[in-house]
Amino acid sequence: MLSENRVNLTMLTDFYELTMANGYMLNGVGNKTAYFDMFFRKVPDGGGFAIMAGVEQLIDYLQNLHFSEEDIQFLRCKGIFCEEFLEYLRHFRFSCDVWAVPEGLPIFPGEPVVTVRGPVTEAQYLETMLLLTISHQSLIATKANRIVRAAQGRPVMEFGSRRAQGYDGAILGARAAYIGGCSATACTIDDRDFKIPAAGTMAHSWVQLFNDELEAFRAYARIYPENCVLLVDTYNVLKSGVPNAIRVFKEEVVTRGFRPKGIRIDSGDITYLSRETRRMLDEGGFPDAGIVASNSLDEYIIRDILTQGAKIDSFGVGERLITSRSEPVFGGVYKLAAVEEDGRIAPRIKISENVGKINNPCFKQVWRLYDRTCGKAIADVITLADEVIDDTRPYEIFDPEFTWKRKRVTNFIACRLQQPLFEKGRCVYRSPALSEIRDFCRDQVGTLWDEVLRFENPHGYYVDLSPKLWDIKKDLLEEYSIK
């Protein structure tokens, strides 16, 4: 975490969060307990699942929530906020309960990945930063996971800092990419702050700076013989780049007692060039030298060139990963699900002619059912918060849109997905090491069936409602449709 460079982000909020908070206070409802859910409506790139990320940064934000005197003076100058509200902000202390699913977990549309309970003034205020934090990192982690799976076990390095959308996009994007499965990053600050291995070799400018390519390769190899990877496409990959690399490997690397790490190809027909390069390296006595491919790659290009027989050992992926260029919006939303009235939890629902925009009401919990024999995920079930799924007996799941689609599940393990982050404003969660999150992500993606992992037309993973929750939602829909 970047604690030593921490910036107070309390005022990074949509202005209407402040006007609503002021209005709640003036209407005497600011302390009413409200329940909000963050969820998302659609998996990016038409995929079968997304990857949860950003929880550690959400915790950091919530722990640092406070309004400075400069903030309060700025709001006073707007001329629309009452002094009682400004005084409230001066003494503001976060006091909500927060639950979230852990980072690295595969997540699905419609299910609450973060739940907030507390005074509506506070709980509402979190919307902007909560969505920004979770949505961005989940988007990049999801894209990275697709690219890593396309590489079929070959390391993928994140190379996107210079094309990221701002420095936070670079830093936290690299963090999310590592969660999604990338092995390293070109972003040095992420190595310092998150212990993500930093990797990189040379740019074309290194080769261009010297009088010729051979001289450039020699100069580099003499300095870094133990980690020598040469960029061979500045002029001509097969006629000069690879032959010069082989000569330098023999004369400058091997003579110093090392073996070369390999070469990098950053342009051209990667499939053809890599096959020819592999042949030349093998014939030159370097079958152990790897071939790194870069240059505007994504999961589809990587899949295709490997299918065509490309001889690539690892990939460097930049702009299409760090910006999720194919679909750069995650689509997370934050909706009111319930309020407390007269000692009971009263459900709230948003109605829309667009069925996808109708939220699930109530204070809820999410469960994942795993097959006890093979460990694969069967379905997720959203229940009321006080419901318990008993995995010692059969359980019937059903499609909440097509209720006649039902399945009786047996021999399964039911796991609660959300974990408490804050209790009455006090952090009760210890964030795992980033390497643990990455391993957890890999293992949990491994619980999904191959049909869900497909890039195109994946099988729709079941996210069902418990009968009690479905009945409440149905009754609310009928009630408001009459109005």
Q: What is the DSSP string of 200-235?
A: ----HHHHHHSSSHHHHHHHHHHH-GGG-EEE--SS
Residues 470 and 338 occupy one common structural domain: yes
Q: What is the pLDDT of residue 4?
A: 44
Helix (H, G, I), strand (E, B) or coil at 98: strand
Q: What is the pLDDT of residue 6?
A: 64
The verdict on residue 416 lying in a domain is: yes
- What's the average model confidence in pLDDT over 120-145? 98
Residues 338 and 471 occupy one common structural domain: yes
Cα 170 to its chain centre, rounded Å, is 13
What are the tens digits of pLDDT across the range 305-334?
A: 999 999 999 999 999 999 999 999 999 999
CA-based nearest residue to 336, from 351, 347, 344, 325: 347
CATH number at residue 128: 3.20.140.10
Q: Which of 262, 281, 309 is the last residue of a domain?
A: 309
- What's the average model confidence in pLDDT over 41-51? 97
What are the tens digits of pLDDT across the range 335-372?
A: 999 999 999 999 999 998 888 889 999 999 999 999 99
% of the chain beyond a pLDDT of 70: 98
**Full-model pTM:** 0.96
At 482, the pLDDT band (50, 70, 90 cuts) reads: low
What are the tens digits of pLDDT across the range 5-35?
A: 567 899 999 999 999 999 999 999 999 999 9
- What's the average model confidence in pLDDT over 64-80? 97
Residues 345 and 299 occupy one common structural domain: no
Residues 336 and 459 occupy one common structural domain: yes
Residue 184 φ/ψ, nearest 5 degrees:
-160, 175
Q: What is the pLDDT of residue 2?
A: 46
The verdict on residue 270 lying in a domain is: yes
What are the tens digits of pLDDT across the range 218-265?
A: 999 999 999 999 999 999 999 999 999 999 999 999 999 999 999 999
Residues 460 and 398 occupy one common structural domain: yes
Its domain, for residue 303, covers 201-309
Structurally, how many domains does the chain consist of?
Answer: 2
